[in-house]
Amino acid sequence: MEDDEEIDYEVATDEESLKIRRLQRELKSVSASEDRRLFICIGAGLVPILLYVLSPGYVTQWLVLIVTPVSILGGLGLVIFKNIRRKRRILIKHGLQCTQCGFIPSPLTASGVLGIKKCPKCDSRLDV
């Protein structure tokens, strides 16, 4: 009987490691797509500076000083906010939201929580 239990445990461990790898792959793909969006956002924020350098009479320096930081910081904030929301949706899809307290672990600790299958906040069992 002990040998059968060990085999079942190994199979369960393989399934768990597959789930953890799948979760990490999805989170990494979100990060990669958000990195591209960050570069686009920074590039779009630098357009007013380029316009000022190429045609100084067309764009005033005050417009450049106002539009550039607002567009870059606003775009960065939007991209970061969307990144967090997309990662939270992935964690919920994988069953990492606690049914007792509603806690969702951070993407950095998600693989560990998926491995132990317990809520870090209230110690209740997760339905993974």
Could you list the residue range(s) of the whole structural domain that residue 47 is in? Answer: 2-95
Residue 120 counted as domain residue: no
Residue 37 counted as domain residue: yes
Residue 115 counted as domain residue: no
Q: Tell me the angle at which helices 47-54 and 61-93 cross, rounded to the nearest 10 degrees.
A: 160
Residue 128 counted as domain residue: no
Closest CA to 37 of 82, 94, 87, 99: 82
Residue 34 counted as domain residue: yes
Residue 82 counted as domain residue: yes
Where do we find the tokens 């793909």? 29
Q: What is the pLDDT of residues 56-110, one digit of tens each?
A: 777 677 777 888 888 888 888 888 898 889 988 988 888 888 888 888 888 888 8
Query: Tokens representing 8?
Result: 């079942």
User: Domains in the chain: how many in total?
Assistant: 1
Residue 68 counted as domain residue: yes
pTM of the model: 0.69
**At 13, is the pLDDT very low, low, confident or very high (cuts 50, 70, 90)?**
low
